[in-house]
């Protein structure tokens, strides 16, 4: 089923079983966990390729790479011109708006700060975004796949990850 993934181990067969064709056809959310370098993005791409969204974009956001909150927010959500210092032009939210109809892969979701988790939860629930500094509501039709190498249950217990987002 997953041409780019080679292996026959019991855990890998379980992954294949959890990503059955039935679940791929629906807009089921996926959380992929595992150590760094285990191929979480390969699994996400395979889910996308086998889904009804395969002919639409697959957009990847690595959430641990955006070091400042303003940069992270500017990348994930669209922003209006002059919302904060350095925002010299209106930016379409390439990740949400460009993924419309396709799949948005949120890599390292366990690194997302609590305040940004709240905004993400709203997008997951409402299926719409608002540009930062704007008032227009923009509907988005996106399948979300998230991945992390962190134990999110421990993060929830420590208060660094939201239970409702999990």
3-state secondary structure 76-135: HCCECCCCCCCCCCCECCHHHHHCCCCEEEEECHHHCCHHHHHHHHHHHHHCEEECECCC
| pLDDT above 80: residue 12 | no
Reported as a pLDDT band with limits 50, 70 and 90, residue 93 is low
CATH superfamily of 27-158: P-loop containing nucleotide triphosphate hydrolases (3.40.50.300)
Q: Name the percent of the chain lying above pLDDT 90.
A: 26
DSSP SS3 for 60: strand
Greater confidence, 12 or 2? 12
The two structure tokens encoding residue 25: 């056809």
Using a cut of 0.75, tell me whether the model's pTM lies above it. yes
Is residue 40 scored above 80 in pLDDT?
A: yes
């Amino acid at each position: 089923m997953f041409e780019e993934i080679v292996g026959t181990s019991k855990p890998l067969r379980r992954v294949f079983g959890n990503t059955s064709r039935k679940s791929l056809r629906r807009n089921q959310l996926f959380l992929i966990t595992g150590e760094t370098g285990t191929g979480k993005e390969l699994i996400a791409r395979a889910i996308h390729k086998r889904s009804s969204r395969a002919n639409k974009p697959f957009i990847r956001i690595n959430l641990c790479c955006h070091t400042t909150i303003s940069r992270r927010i500017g990348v994930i959500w669209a922003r209006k011109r002059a919302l904060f210092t350095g925002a010299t032009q209106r930016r379409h939210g390439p990740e949400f708006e460009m993924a419309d109809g396709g799949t948005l892969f949120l890599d390292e979701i366990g690194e997302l700060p609590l305040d940004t988790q709240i905004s993400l939860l709203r997008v997951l629930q409402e299926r719409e975004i608002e540009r930062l500094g704007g008032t227009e509501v923009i509907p988005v039709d996106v399948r979300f796949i998230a991945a992390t190498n962190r134990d999110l249950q421990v993060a929830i217990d420590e208060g660094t990850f939201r239970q409702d987002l999990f």
